[in-house]
Structure 1
Amino acid sequence: MENKNNEKIDFSFFNEDAKLADYGKALQELRKDGVDKIASLKNHIYALKKNRLIDDAVKISSIEEYKKEIEEAKKTALENKDAEKKLAAEAVAYSNKLFNDNIRDFIKSENQKQKQYKIDYENQISSIMQENEAAKKEAYDEFAETKDSAELNRKLNVLKFQLNSSFAEAKNKYRDAVAASKEAKNQAYIDHVQKNISLRNGRTNLKENMVLNFKDYIYKFKL
């Protein structure tokens, strides 16, 4: 990412921020032997119950062991609960600040890109038309000398096909560039919300979901 003035801004830095990554690692450390282990063991029990290839006696024995481990993990989760909650809140606050401090410049940068894409597209269309007109003039000049109407029509048909192909190619290139820019803006919001959900260990936030749904609506219907 670059500055607030005129340089290119890439929002991928958000997912690569070292401090944010450190928060994630610290939270993972607090959760791995507690809430994460509980979730993992419950998944093992569920899978074991569904597995028809394992003998019932083995299932019962394994499930009992898993349940004992769950009880131990619950103790660890309880011990780490306050520290995890405090650190998660701190991490989300940092994530929000990092996002809010940079999103406006990023959106502004992408909007400027889109304006430039339109200017470039219009200039390209103008250039294509000028080249086509020059080629048609050359064809008519040749016709003035040869009087070969069949050859003139052939050349004009080729030029018309080339013109339409060039128009279509330029339009597709412009649309793809604008779509990529809009996708980048939309993805920035998605990355932020997903990061916060991860920091909260899967817990969602109503306000974030509302913002994300609104941005997704705007992205889809204004593309």
Structure 2
Amino acid sequence: MEDKELNEYSARLNELRKDGVNLISALKQENAAAKRNKLLSADERAKLIAGNNAKIEQAKTVAEKNKAEIAEIVKKAVARNNELSKAEIAKVNAEQNDVIAKLKAEYAEKIVKIDEETLARKKEIVASYAGKTSQKDNEDCKEDLRVAEYEHNSALFDAKNKFTSAVDAAKAIKNQAYVDYVQKNRAFRNGQTNFKEDFTLSVQNYINKFKMSKFLLDNGLYLAILVFFIVCIILAPLSGSGNLLSLPNIFTILEQSSVRMFYALGVAGLILLAGTDLSVGRMVAMGAVVTGLFLHPGQNIVTVFGLGPWDFTTCSMVLRLALALFLSIFLCVAFSAFAGVFSAKLKIHPFISTLATQLIIYGLLFFGTSGTPVGSIDAGIKDLIGGRWILGQLGGELITFPKLIIPAIIAIIVAWFIWNKTTFGKNMYAVGGNAEAASVSGISVFWVTMGVFIMAGIFYGCGAFLEAFKANASAGTGQGYELDAIAACVVGGISFNGGIGKIGGAVIGVIIFTSLTYCLTFLGIDTNLQFVFKGLIIIAAVALDSVKYLKRK
């Protein structure tokens, strides 16, 4: 879409920005390149940057001088482009809608024609074998009919592919008309975006690329779970259990999710590498026992490998907390790294290396403590970290906020930052997607794998430390937690095939599984039946992931 007035605005803006904002941007990029250029000596680099900085100051003066005129021209240019583009977009949409309607009509006619031709051919085949009763003739007739049916299905498949491709092309043209409009406005604003335009563009992209089959494949499980929760919400008051959506219930679900969030965040990295971790539950027990030993009020009631019992109350509470957290993390990292070495160096699947680690920890814990619970922790510190803040009354009900939600939120933010904003996070996706290709591109698969195992150990250690604030820790604490953590990640969309998934998926998965258990318990469903629901969700999640993987291949 060419317009003389828009071209004049564009030319004038380029002239005004040339020695101002555009020059500033170019000089800053030149400075950044000079800092990275190892061929330049320190004096050459300093001289070049100093000269550019002087030019930048001059350019800032020009930019400030032209600022008002640029703003006025931008306003006029955007208004003019909006006016012209509105009509152009409407025209393109109308044209392509007519094209799509025509394609649909032609596709329907093509289907009818293919069906008629196949039916006629089948009649001819049957007629050609009329009166022939030998076994060979019967088999030949059936074979010819199978061939005709196969060719019929192939023709339908080809017709559908051509129709879909043509419709997608028409939708792409509609989408491109809006993209061109947005890009022109961005050019007038010198690259600055506009929320309304960006939001509308996202909606346009989604509508034009939307396919029901892909939507159901990606979100079918979540829709089924949503229906399940809606049914539970409706049934709860009818069964006399009360309001499931009350604020205290929601806070309780989030509190129960908080500590388990650490385990899911840890195992998510290993699943991203197409692995898994069966040692999570034992790690939790180990860290929780250590924490319980340090924070027990008075002399401990258990010995470890015949040593003790100890009394740490003579130490300050800050020191006891620091030692408990440090040792919980240290031990979990040590055992996680132990499993990681075998997987990273000897290419042993994490299923085996973490299974072995699980058995080692399990044996050491039971042998060392005889399976005796370490007892409760100091009530004051338990309330300080694992208690609740009183928010007030709502509808005659006391509302309290669980403190464990805070460390869980911090852990989610840290994990999200590592996965999305660091080189290590990008390398995780690369190794998980294709380890050989990642190695060829210069990524150390060994150290990335070890880094993921160590990161998992840190999350397990923090979670195990907080686990001790929930119940009396023993060697049996955390039984089955690894399965819940793995299931949460898979339900959250982190693929067992590697290289696919987001931290947000693991978070959602944990909340879904915790909510599922809470809802069933709230409705009085037998605990044993709850495993059935969990099993169905897990197999459905893995099945959908496998289907998506096969489609990608």
Residues 35-55 of structure 1, C-alpha deviation per residue, up to 9 Å, x if partnerless? Answer: 100000011111111222211
Instruction: Indicate the residue corresponding to 1:164 in structure 2.
Output: 153
How many equivalent residue pairs? 209
Instruction: Indicate the residue corresponding to 2:25 in structure 1.
Output: 39
Instruction: Indicate the residue corresponding to 2:402 in structure 1.
Output: none
Instruction: Indicate the residue corresponding to 1:195 in structure 2.
Output: 184
**Paired AA for residue 23 in structure 2:** K
1:84-95 pair list within 5 angstroms: 84-95=70-81
2:104 matches 1:118: yes
**Paired AA for residue 209 in structure 2:** K
Q: Judging changes above 3 Å, is the alpha-carbon distance between structure 1 residues 18 and 169 closer, same or farther for their aligned structure 2 residues?
A: farther
Instruction: Indicate the residue corresponding to 1:144 in structure 2.
Output: 130
Whole-angstrom distance in 2 between the partners of 1:20 and 1:114: 32
Whole-angstrom distance in 2 between the partners of 1:136 and 1:221: 38
2:194 matches 1:208: no
Instruction: Indicate the residue corresponding to 1:105 in structure 2.
Output: 91
Q: CA deviation at 1:82?
A: 2.2
Whole-angstrom distance in 2 between the partners of 1:219 and 1:183: 7
Q: Judging changes above 3 Å, is the alpha-carbon distance between structure 1 residues 17 and 146 closer, same or farther for their aligned structure 2 residues?
A: farther
Residues 114-166 of structure 1, C-alpha deviation per residue, up to 9 Å, x if partnerless? Answer: 12111111100000111111111111111115552232122111111110000
Instruction: Indicate the residue corresponding to 2:493 in structure 1.
Output: none
Q: Which runs of 5+ in 1 are unaligned?
A: 1-13
TM-score, normalization: structure 2? 0.36
Whole-angstrom distance in 2 between the partners of 1:17 and 1:118: 35
**Paired AA for residue 101 in structure 1:** A
1:65-80 pair list within 5 angstroms: 65-80=51-66
Which has the higher mean CA deviation after the structures are superposed, 39-48 or 175-184? 175-184
TM-score, normalization: structure 1? 0.86
Q: CA deviation at 1:196?
A: 0.4
RCO greater where, 1 or 2, for CA within 8 Å and sep 6 or more? 1
Largest Rg, 1 or 2:
2
Residues 26-82 of structure 1, C-alpha deviation per residue, up to 9 Å, x if partnerless? Answer: 321221111100000011111111222211111111111111111221222223222
Q: CA deviation at 1:19?
A: 4.3
**Paired AA for residue 30 in structure 1:** L
**Paired AA for residue 161 in structure 1:** Y
Instruction: Indicate the residue corresponding to 2:167 in structure 1.
Output: 178
- Partner of residue 59 from structure 1, selected from 31, 35, 45: 45
Whole-angstrom distance in 2 between the partners of 1:22 and 1:172: 45
**Paired AA for residue 215 in structure 1:** Q
RMSD between superposed Cα atoms in Å = 1.8
**Paired AA for residue 50 in structure 1:** R
Whole-angstrom distance in 2 between the partners of 1:31 and 1:19: 18
**Paired AA for residue 63 in structure 1:** I
Whole-angstrom distance in 2 between the partners of 1:159 and 1:196: 56
Instruction: Indicate the residue corresponding to 1:24 in structure 2.
Output: 10
Whole-angstrom distance in 1 between the partners of 2:168 and 2:105: 16
User: SS at the partner of 2:154?
Assistant: helix
Q: Judging changes above 3 Å, is the alpha-carbon distance between structure 1 residues 18 and 175 closer, same or farther for their aligned structure 2 residues?
A: farther
Q: Percent of aligned pairs with the same residue?
A: 38
Whole-angstrom distance in 1 between the partners of 2:189 and 2:171: 28
Instruction: Indicate the residue corresponding to 1:6 in structure 2.
Output: none
User: SS at the partner of 2:130?
Assistant: helix
Whole-angstrom distance in 2 between the partners of 1:141 and 1:157: 16
Whole-angstrom distance in 1 between the partners of 2:144 and 2:85: 57
